[in-house]
Structure 1
Amino acid sequence: MAKPQLLFLFSFSLLCLISFSAAASSITADLRLTDSSFPSVHAKKLIRELNLFPKGEVNVVDEHRVSLPEGPKLVEKRFKFPTLEVPGGVSFEDLGHHAGYYKLPNSHDARMFYFFFESRNSKKDPVVIWLTGGPGCSSELALFYENGPFTIADNMSLVWNEYGWDKASNLLYVDQPIGTGFSYSSDQRDIRHNEDEVSNDLYDFLQAFFAEHPEFAKNDFFITGESYAGHYIPAFAARVHRGNKAKEGIHINLKGFAIGNGLTDPAIQYKAYTDYALDMGVIKKSDHDRINKLVPICEMAIKLCGTDGTISCMASYFVCNNIFNGIMALAGDTNYYDVRKKCEGSLCYDFSNMESFLNKKSVRDALGVGNIDFVSCSPTVYQAMLVDWMRNLEVGNSRWVHAMEWSGQKEFVASPEVPFIVDGAEAGVLKTHGALGFLKVISLPTCLFNL
């Protein structure tokens, strides 16, 4: 439960926000402060809807449980998953699968876990790093359910993924921020709270990774991810650019980044929640207009969050999430990741095989993670990133892309949408100008990176 003084300040912030609104009397009923309104409770609900039940809320462990060499160094091993069948003649070395830990230099005792899968095609293929959002969800979600080399069958065996990105790239999956997945610390102070900390950790890791694998250092490099990674990725790309410009270490050949349904700019994106729900027939026009009365308060709250800090951010989280909650209260069992589908009770997807697989002793031994628990999604990390979260809502991607200020903005806005063809059939529409492209994919949910 919230401390009394914090709850008072939180409630006071809400009252101040509402009092500034001309529509205050008509929207008060839509602002409901319940247990599920608070970030940690909301995070746990989202995790359960994926049929995930992590053993702990965050990977902060007793310092005596594990031991790795001291110093900011990378400890890596080649491995093969015990249930993976490899083609005849492919050796352990040829497989090129690696798992490792990197002790972060700017931390008290944090270790970042990663997977590295060499390309099935050529070592000269681009190096691609994948960052899952949440915030606080492991990148292994994408590894096993989206774009990784294999998927998990019901009998816990691994099946090679025909569309795995490792068929055309050297692929990195990183568990971050610290406390997520197999990444851990023995010190609570290593939990990250903002994008500067997150992007610095990732940059330090990349420097160590390319020092360990100099044969990949000159390859083209791309940053990819989805959802909350819409915030991670631009910050990380900017950090790489600054490092290159300042000649801080190994030059990273950054060529671009890709964001799927990202959280990036709330000042533009928030209005799309109700617009999209109306367009898809999830809500009626009267519901749209009623819920939209919360939008000015949400906008004001986000601005206060950017200047006043934690209490205002908590208030903005509550106000803005009531827009989403108001829609979902009317949507029933609609799957909000893919509105064409229904959730079965509270279950929208079943990712439980991932937890079961990664907690098998044979798998853990193969990876060299010892007795570190696998935390699929961390409510603690989710809440720790609250300030940054309220500057980014997962809506309106087209709007913020069109509003983004850059040298080719006018030409991009004026450019036509053209059919995007896959295997002779239209799979979406594509709009491009220069180095910027925006692709709307037909018939795919939030997690579209299994292309």
Structure 2
Amino acid sequence: MRASVLALALAAVALAAAADTCTGAEANRSGDGGGQRVRQFDPSKLGVDTVKQMSGYLDDDEQDKHLFYWFFESRADPAKDPLVLWLEGGPGCSSMLSLFQQMGPAKVSQELELTPNPFSWTSRASVLFLDQPVNTGFSLGRDQVNSSAEAAKDVYAALTLFLRHFPQYADRDVHVAGTSYAGHFIPAVAAEILSHPDRTIKLKSALFGNGLTDALVQNRFYQPMACGDGGVPAVLNDSTCQAMKDAAPRCESLVQSCYDTGETAVCRNATQECSASLIGPVGGAGLNQYNLRQECRGNLSNFCTDSVPPIQRWLNRAEVRQSLGVDGVDRWDVCSDKVSLAFGMSGDWSRPLQRQVAAALEQIPVLAFAGDGDFICNWLGNRAWTDGLDWPGRDAFGRAQTQALRMSEGGPEGGYGEIKAAGGLAFARIFNAGHFAILDQPEATFDLFTRWIAGEWAVK
């Protein structure tokens, strides 16, 4: 979740429609004659990995929506390993961020050199990185999507098109995954997929890290996290902590009204006021809201890390864009202010996506995990909403014991985190990690991921 962009939701400005069109030559193009087509390029010469890969666009020409994808086959057993669909958060942040910063096959150094990632999730699964909603990353479209529900419909259509065009992957188990605002996107996408009885997607599970899912509950834990009650020393003074505490009841009332009415103006107002009173004090003080244990390197737009600028420079190289088949997008930016503003103005930030989690749990298991140094989507709030989720397994989940997460060999003494699971729902806390838990603890989160897709905590 990008709070520097969230502040844009305070400005009541009109959104300009994106009038870009998608033209140009491609290595391979095919469609169904109904306005949907796939453009496919082979970017292997870029040296990101040696596995089979493809990139390009999943097009809906009738709606003028063109979602960019980059697919990597599993390094292990691509004929049997599952397929992970990865969606970045934001809203409006590119999945290329996680490809090169977190769980993809390579990292980009400050010198723009590629180095293999030994803990890439492609070591155990094939991964489809998708830039969505439209006008995110290398994706583009005429009409801007402004809600998680709308975005989920586009993702469902794109994934269905991908599996139809590449039938060799159609029988794979599918896990939908992401981080940050993917706490909205992933529940919405899972619910959308499961709503289609005639689907060809074999959805196996959903998982997301440091997500924004239940705004009502999450908002209750900004003050405790910033003021010393989340396992990190207080980063604000007593007067600021008291001001946040005093603002909490009104914020709760506003979000509850959004939950009750669903009205755009009500939800937008809740986002605006709660952002200013509960999130603003940390970001506005120049603190690292993505990891309270670390200083902010760079700026909030780069998530207080120095890993984003080299990714941006590498992806904007002419030879990289040509190899990927990029078309109609002049420049790759890690996040789109336009997309984020559209979601902010629609009130989507404050809508109750935990309801989609409860619905999804009727058919698939769900894992929420969180680095415990994050402020913006902190572990206290994620633990609280999973504990309080209204679903048939609530009592069993409430009785479940929290257990230590340890690697089978090596790892930190005492484990790298803790997990609670029952009935298909699991919540994991990752120690000494921030908003991007995969970046901060790559080996630990890789262990969690591989065990999750193997079904260790997914028993329903």
- DSSP 3-state at the match of 1:341: coil
Q: Which residue of 1 aligns with 2:452?
A: none
With CA pairs under 8 Å and 6+ residues apart, which has the higher RCO, 1 or 2? Answer: 1
**Structure 1 position 76, deviation (Å):** 1.4
Q: What aligned pairs does 1:46-445 form with structure 2 within 5 A after superposition? A: 60-63=18-21, 66=24, 71-84=35-48, 86=50, 95-104=51-60, 108-123=63-78, 124-185=80-141, 187=142, 190-243=143-196, 245=197, 247=198, 249-250=199-200, 252-278=201-227, 279=229, 280=232, 281-284=234-237, 286-306=239-259, 307=261, 309-328=263-282, 332-344=285-297, 346=299, 348-350=304-306, 351-370=308-327, 372-373=329-330, 374-386=332-344, 387-391=347-351, 394-395=377-378, 396-422=381-407, 423-425=410-412, 426-445=415-434
Larger Rg: 1
**Structure 1 position 424, deviation (Å):** 4.2
**Structure 1 position 58, deviation (Å):** 9.2
User: Is the 8 Å Cα contact of residues 432 and 438 (structure 1) preserved in structure 2?
Assistant: yes
- For the residues of structure 2 that align with 1:198 and 1:207, how far apart are their CA atoms? 14
- DSSP 3-state at the match of 1:385: helix
- DSSP 3-state at the match of 1:317: helix
- DSSP 3-state at the match of 1:271: helix
Q: TM-score, normalised by structure 1?
A: 0.79
- DSSP 3-state at the match of 1:437: strand
- For the residues of structure 1 that align with 2:49 and 2:279, how far apart are their CA atoms? 45
User: Is the 8 Å Cα contact of residues 298 and 316 (structure 1) preserved in structure 2?
Assistant: yes
Aligned pair in 2 of structure 1 residues 37, 432: CA closer, same or farther (>3 Å)? closer
**Structure 1 position 232, deviation (Å):** 0.7
What is the root-mean-square deviation in Å for CA atoms of aligned residues?
2.7
- DSSP 3-state at the match of 1:122: coil
Q: Which residue of 2 aligns with 1:7?
A: none
Task: Give per-residue Cα distances to partners, 1:288-309, cap 9 Å, x unaligned.
Answer: 3331221222122224445374
Between 281-290 and 351-360, the greater mean CA deviation after superposition: 281-290
**Structure 1 position 37, deviation (Å):** 4.8
Aligned pair in 2 of structure 1 residues 39, 66: CA closer, same or farther (>3 Å)? farther
Give the aligned residue type for 1:391: R
**Structure 1 position 97, deviation (Å):** 1.0
User: Is the 8 Å Cα contact of residues 175 and 205 (structure 2) preserved in structure 1?
Assistant: yes
User: Is the 8 Å Cα contact of residues 83 and 156 (structure 1) preserved in structure 2?
Assistant: no
Aligned pair in 2 of structure 1 residues 64, 401: CA closer, same or farther (>3 Å)? closer
- For the residues of structure 1 that align with 2:108 and 2:18, how far apart are their CA atoms? 27
Task: Give per-residue Cα distances to partners, 1:41-87, cap 9 Å, x unaligned.
Answer: 79xxxxxxxxxxxxxx999354386578782111112221435575x
User: Is the 8 Å Cα contact of residues 83 and 157 (structure 1) preserved in structure 2?
Assistant: no
Identity among equivalent pairs (%):
31
Matched residue pairs, number? 386
**Structure 1 position 127, deviation (Å):** 0.3
- For the residues of structure 1 that align with 2:270 and 2:49, how far apart are their CA atoms? 50
Structure 1: unaligned runs, 5 residues or longer: 1-34, 43-56, 87-94
- For the residues of structure 2 that align with 1:340 and 1:363, how far apart are their CA atoms? 35
Between 109-118 and 434-443, the greater mean CA deviation after superposition: 434-443
- For the residues of structure 1 that align with 2:105 and 2:211, how far apart are their CA atoms? 23
- For the residues of structure 1 that align with 2:146 and 2:47, how far apart are their CA atoms? 37
Aligned pair in 2 of structure 1 residues 137, 74: CA closer, same or farther (>3 Å)? same
Give the aligned residue type for 1:196: A
User: Is the 8 Å Cα contact of residues 203 and 236 (structure 1) preserved in structure 2?
Assistant: yes
- For the residues of structure 2 that align with 1:81 and 1:64, how far apart are their CA atoms? 24
Aligned pair in 2 of structure 1 residues 80, 64: CA closer, same or farther (>3 Å)? closer
- DSSP 3-state at the match of 2:245: helix
Task: Give per-residue Cα distances to partners, 1:168-212, cap 9 Å, x unaligned.
Answer: 000011000000011012x2xx21012221111111111111111
Give the aligned residue type for 2:204: K
User: Is the 8 Å Cα contact of residues 20 and 140 (structure 2) preserved in structure 1?
Assistant: no
Structure 2: unaligned runs, 5 residues or longer: 353-375, 446-460
User: Is the 8 Å Cα contact of residues 195 and 235 (structure 1) preserved in structure 2?
Assistant: yes
Q: Which residue of 2 aligns with 1:50?
A: none
